[in-house]
Amino acid sequence: MKLTILGSGTAAPLLERNNSGYMLEADGKKFLLDSGAGITRRLLELKFNLFDIGHIFYTHLHNDHINDLGAIIWGNNYGGKRKKALNLYGPKGFKKYFRILNNKLLQKPKSPFGINIKELKNSKIKIGNVNVTTNQIKHSSTTKSIAYRFEHKGKSCVYASDSEYCSETIKAAENADVLLIECSFPNKVEGHLTPSLAGKIASKANVKVLILTHFYPEVLKTDIVKQCRKTFDGKIVLASDKMKVNV
């Protein structure tokens, strides 16, 4: 599998770090993981074709993770170029979110190509030869998020996105070859992780490679690796936009 960082940023606008978005290529397929504002442009910059993306997985409905869904739908509607269906996955409430976006904001209730929408909690899906396992994890006191685990050819990549420190996220990341997870702030904030808490999750889950992402400006002013090293002995990678990692 190949993971490309499209956006390692957050809701705080930064020129060099786009809102959340990642591309996972596996089994000849392209899986887009979240699509915050600007991801459509990042896809162009990295020569990904919008019409090749068959599956988009949303962790939660915060704007820095989903804002470009409207741009993606309209981009696909244009010109009759898209021939295959688009499969969208998200947490509870995603269908309602999509209905409002599509019918009220985009005013295009019927798409020229098929759109399939699935709401997920703790589920297992098979897409070609890729096994996708989802776990509901705690983000904030009011928001649940979905952690996605992708397995192909004996390798596993877990995208946990925004998370609170919780047993659900540790379970979702268990024995992963790669864990891609947020480390938003240097000091604990409700609903987010620090570098050392992200490391603690990776340690408890026995993760091999930890990719830290979703950096707010405050955490970028600190020594993220040093903080994370206090709790995690494995390989630490700091995500940056356009970085590619083989899983």
Task: List contacts with Zn ion (CB under 5 A).
Answer: 62, 64, 162
Task: Tell me how far CA of residue 109 lies from CA of 42, 99, 101, 112, 116, in angstroms.
Answer: 27, 8, 10, 10, 13
Of the pair 62, 82, the CB lying nearest Zn ion is at 62
Shortest Cβ 63–Zn ion spacing (Å): 8
Query: Which residue lies nearer to Zn ion by CB, 8 or 87?
Result: 8
Extract the tokens encoding 108.
């295009």
Chain-centroid distance, C-alpha 17: 15
Judged by beta carbon, residue 1 or residue 172, the one nearer Zn ion is 172
Phi and psi at 196, nearest 5°, equal -75, -30
Instruction: Please choose, from the candidates 113, 48, 43, 40, the residue with its C-alpha nearest in 3D space to the C-alpha of residue 70.
Output: 40
Nearer of residues 18 and 76 to Zn ion, judged by Cβ: 18
Cα 80 from Cα 109, distance rounded (Å): 16
E strand map for the chain: 2-7, 21-26, 29-35, 55-57, 86-90, 115-119, 123-127, 130-138, 144-152, 155-161, 178-182, 209-213, 235-238, 244-246
Q: Which is nearer to Zn ion, 62 or 152 (CB)?
A: 62
